[in-house]
Every structure is written in C-alpha cells, then in structure tokens.
Amino acid sequence: MSFLLGRGSAIEWLRQNHNVSIVEPNARWTVPYSSLEASRTRFEKHLPKLEGLTRPIQLVVWCHDDRRRTAITQSHILNVRDGFYPAVKAGDDLFVSSPEFAFLQMANLLDDEQLLFVGFELCGRYGIGAEGVFPRPQVCTSQDLVSCANRMPRVRGRRHATIIAPLVIDGAGSPMEAALALILHTAREEGGYGLPAPELNKSIPVEGKARRQWMEDHITPDLLWENAKLAIEYDSNLHHSASSRIASDAKRRDVLAELGYRVITVTTEHMRSFREIERIAHVVASTLGIDITASSEDELNARTAYQARMRHLALHPKVLCSIPTLSKKRTWSPR
C-alpha cells in the first residue's frame, strides 16, 4: 500500500525538493487509487522525509473508510474517472501529487490571483521557500495544467483550474516578473492593460558583433515581444545589487540593443509606482501599435487596485507559503 501527498503538502514538498528532476518523463507516475491508504502507524516512518511541511500533512485516499484526521495527517478523497492519480515518486511507498495535479487540487482552495501565482511558480524557473525566492528548473508547463484539468473532470475545483491555467505564462524567473507580465497582459476589464502576452525568459540567438561582445550563443530577456523587437529587463534590488551583476545587466542591455531590440528596464521601485507602470505600459503599447488609454476613471481605478494586488503577492511571496489554510476561492467569469 502507498501514500500520496496532495494539496498544499504537495506544493510545499515540491518547493523543498527543488533539485528533483521531475520534468523527465520517467519521473511521472500514476498511482492506482486502490493502492492508497491512510494508516498513521505505517505513515509515521515517512515523517523524517517530510520535516518542514505544514501540519496536518495532506494525504489523498481512495475511499471514506481510509479517511483519518490526526494531529499529523488529514485525508481527502478525490474522485477520478480512470482511477489513477498523477504523481512523483518520493520513496518506496510514498508519492507526491505531480505539479499539474497539485495545481488542480489547489484550485478548490485558492482565489484567482493566488492560484495564478502558484501556476506561474510551477511553470516558472523559481520556487518560494521559507527564506524567500530561489531559482529552480521549470517543473511543468501551462499546457500540463490545462491537460491535467481536462483529464480529470470529476475533481473538485476543475472548473476554476480550467479558467486560470490558460492565463499562466511559462518561464517566469521571479514573482515580480510574473506580476509584471500579468499586469500588462490581463484583460482591461479585469484591471490589466490587455496587451499581447510576452514570452518569458525565451532564449534568442546571439550573432555577429553582439556574439563577440556577449561571448555566449544565446541570451534570455525577462519579457520579450519578439516580432516587435521589444524586451523588458527586470532589475531586482535584492538580486541585482552586486557590482558584478549590475555590470552584467548593463552588458545584457547592450547586447540586446546590438541585436536590434528596444530594451525597457523595470525596477522594484518602478513596480511600486502606478505612474511608472502606466508609463512603461504605454511605451510597450506604443511599440506594439496598441492604444491602451483608459476610457474612464473607473478603468484607472481598476488598474490601480489590480496592480496593488499583484504587487502585494509579488513582494510578499511568503503569503503563498501558507497555502493549506488560505481562504476559499473567488472565481472569475470565463473570458
């Protein structure tokens, strides 16, 4: 018999085990629900592997008879049509919900914006730990989130997941990059600017004179609209303060300019200012040939409120570390 960590415990485990190469096909498993159980005695041997997870640890079980609630664990039944749970193997008889399945499970607990940030994290190149943001390999894609929700129609929260998953953009390098992409791309009626979605940290080739200057064969702008030859580089006060990093960032901008890209630099201070975000958004819109002038004061107020919510989640990512106890979701209407 096996155990399956789910919901917030799965997200936390993925954050703590960020060196696990779960993007490889052979690292995905399916656990038949008939093999899952919730015996406390047998589960306790796994506790040393699960230090640091919020208690009670969330387990997935296959029927009411296996449900147990103790100081250590809490059990949940998930209905699945084919009888299998997508999982990552964590031990001989211990499995963890796969990233896309964990996203689907959390769709029943989180509001829209919290779920979006969890999606950007899972589909990005960073994780959120107790000490803040850390780099890690991308563990799934937004298409994985969509496909998992479509394959498991009986799981509670599926409708919410199918609404939010398509809004996730792959490849973000930090919560602030995610927030900036969301602010620029989210529909105007929701408080964004309705601009085309940027590509995040996409690798583009470096050739010619720029190749001699950069000494590498590719470069990855933070936000990119390749057809418009426009890039945004986000300079974090936290991660980019060292003089060597400042010099590297300056060289990156020079190389992109040599390749013919217009480069806009955005800092954390810019992100704190509605006026600065307005200015940056209008520069992007003008380059893309789009008019984003607010049609009313209500639209401006919606932008202000939306940016404040995005900024709060990006600047305080530890808010998302307590996801097992977050409030019930608030669902958007499909667009």
Residue-wise pLDDT for 52-89, tens only, equals 888 899 998 888 777 777 778 888 888 776 678 888 88
Helix (H, G, I), strand (E, B), or coil: what is residue 155? coil
Beta bridge partners of 127: 134
Distance (Å, whole) CA 96 – CA 102: 9
Q: Tell me the CA distances in angstroms from 238 to 174, 234, 242, 266, one per residue in order.
A: 12, 11, 9, 14
Range ranked top by mean pLDDT from 2-16, 71-85, 201-215, 314-328: 2-16
Average pLDDT score over residue span 209-226: 86
- Encode pLDDT of 140-173 as tens digits: 999 999 999 998 888 889 999 999 999 999 999 9
Distance (Å, whole) CA 221 – CA 108: 34
Q: Residue written as tokens 């038949």?
A: 32
Contact (Cβ atoms closer than 8 angstroms) between residue 4 and residue 59: yes
Please report the pLDDT score of residue 247 as a whole number: 62
Report the amino acid identity of residue 9. Answer: S
Q: What is the CA radius of gyration of the chain?
A: 21
Largest CA distance in the chain: 68
Among 68-72, 98-102, 191-195, 328-332, which stretch is predicted with the lowest mean pLDDT? 328-332
The total number of residues shown for the chain amounts to 335
Task: Count Cβ neighbours within 10 Å for each residue of 183-218 and write b for 16 or more, e otherwise.
Answer: bbbbeeebbbbebeebbbbbebebeeebbeebeeee
Distance (Å, whole) CA 278 – CA 203: 27
Average pLDDT score over residue span 112-121: 95
Asked if pLDDT for residue 335 goes beyond 70, the answer is: no
Contact (Cβ atoms closer than 8 angstroms) between residue 167 and residue 121: no
| Per-chain mean pLDDT for the chain | 86
Q: For 215-272, list the strands marked E by DSSP.
A: 218-219, 223-225, 230-235, 262-267
Please report the pLDDT score of residue 245 as a whole number: 60
List of residues 6+ apart from 24 with CB closer than 8 A: none
| Strand-pair category, 132-135 with 126-129 | antiparallel
Among 229, 227, 180, 214, which Cα is nearest to 200's? 180
Domains of the chain: which residue ranges? 3-173+319-325, 175-312
CB atoms within 10 A of CB 56: 16
Pull the structure tokens for residue 25. 């096909």
Contact (Cβ atoms closer than 8 angstroms) between residue 243 and residue 306: no
- Encode pLDDT of 177-203 as tens digits: 999 999 999 999 999 999 999 999 999
Beta bridge partners of 261: none
List of residues 6+ apart from 279 with CB closer than 8 A: none
